[in-house]
Amino acid sequence: MQYRDRQSATSGTFAIVGALVHTVSGGDLDNAIVILKDGRIAAIGRDVSIPGNATIVKAAGLHLYPGLIDADTVLGLTEIGSVPGSVDVSETGKINPSVHVEVSLNPESELIPVTRANGITHVLTAPRGGIVSGTSALIRLDGWTWEDLTAGAPVAMHVDYPAYPRPAGRFGFGPQVSEEDQKKRREADLKELRSLVESARAYRQSKAAGSSSLRPDPALEAMLPVIEGKVPVIVNASEIRQIKDAIAWSRSEGLRMILAGDGDLGRVADRLKQDDIPVIVGPILSDSFRRDEPYDTAYSLLSRLRDAGVRFCISNGGGGFAASNTRNLPYQAGMAAAYGLPRDEALKSITLYPAQILGVGDRLGSIEVGKSASLMLTDGDPLEIRTKVLKVWIDGRLADLSNKHQRLFDKYRSRPMPAAAR
């Protein structure tokens, strides 16, 4: 995937002077100078020459970090959950490989500046629904149009791997479905999934042979980069049998798999390590997956995956209220750090590791010369909820940190005190 920036011509030149620079990929540099130019990091060090046209940012006593990355969201596709017209996370039907989420992004979403104000500069926005939901896009949280927001697409094809039947009456809302009917539905879904990959391979062969009778098929065209290994498949699965079946399916089809979920991931850590399958884990701030598990099972999951040698990153979680809660990403990592994950690993899990897993590790995730100037300046550790994000740069452009949450806070803070309370 090629990283792109339509607004690169508007990126200024900045010199951030005196900060404690947390490079993430290397050591920390105290009282350093970081030069941002043409959207990239041009220089880092204590004896760096400052360009004459640079805007100097005095940062003594402050901390400079790379921008945070959430690898599984619906940010930009939904606004108010109870207003159907503002929710565009899925398409009708079960098989939608030709869906491209970037064209549906809403640049005016109030959730984007709220998320950006907490130091998150990039997210993976992914479709939902059905079996094959479509392709995701890496978006920067700054821009006038969906083209401006899109930093890369397609990033991955998203698959909700069919789950095993659950006892009727124990889960969900609405009419209950018997276990037998759930089993039949699962078998039908698996058949559709296998048929799609089989059809894509046949379509590729016919296309290579130059068949005159071949009609263009958008769904199968979208599957070609997947079966050719150019685009990975992000598979949503959390239950142990579901995860094992998904791994076996991806290996039998020769697909590059990334696993997204939580739950039973710790129970299959050895298999994930063996097959070198990276995982997008989230949310960390959640209940235990099973009733007989300790209360901190979700909190300590990342520590156990790290001990097993599994490649991972942290997400706020792709479903439910993921868009409105994406701003809480650093606190997901903070909880993992409180329950066994080393702090430096927790920071990497929301910066460098998601960039590497999503295929943009050469541009994002750490403070290195040549990488994107997507940074945040803070007064402390971003994993601590009391820390304030003071400035954010996205591809070298200073971002506006005003947002609806701050406006409401300022409004009601100045509300006149009721007479009875005076």
Q: Does domain 68-363 have CATH number 3.20.20.140?
A: yes
- The C-alpha atoms of residue 74 and residue 125 are separated, in whole angstroms, by 5
Joined tokens for residue 198: 């089989």
- The C-alpha atoms of residue 43 and residue 368 are separated, in whole angstroms, by 8
Cis bond leading into 418, ω under 30°? no
- The C-alpha atoms of residue 3 and residue 362 are separated, in whole angstroms, by 10
Domain ranges of the chain: 68-363
- The C-alpha atoms of residue 419 and residue 168 are separated, in whole angstroms, by 56
Position 332: which residue type?
Q
Q: What's the burial of 264, exposed, middle or buried (CB within 10 Å: 0-12/13-18/19+)?
A: buried
Nearest to 351 by CA among 137, 119, 116, 4: 119
- Give the angle 203-208-209 at the CA atoms, nearest 5°: 100
For residue 331, the cross-strand partners are none
Question: pTM for this one?
Answer: 0.94
pLDDT tens sequence for the chain (422 residues): 889 999 999 999 999 999 999 999 999 999 999 999 999 999 999 999 999 999 999 999 999 999 999 999 999 999 988 888 888 999 999 999 999 999 999 999 999 999 999 999 999 999 999 999 999 999 999 999 999 999 999 999 999 999 998 876 555 566 788 888 999 999 999 999 999 999 999 999 999 998 878 889 999 999 999 999 999 999 999 999 999 999 999 999 999 999 999 999 999 999 999 999 999 998 999 988 888 899 999 999 999 999 999 999 999 986 655 788 999 999 999 999 999 999 999 999 999 999 999 999 999 999 999 999 999 999 999 999 999 999 999 999 999 999 999 999 999 999 988 877 66
- The C-alpha atoms of residue 148 and residue 208 are separated, in whole angstroms, by 35
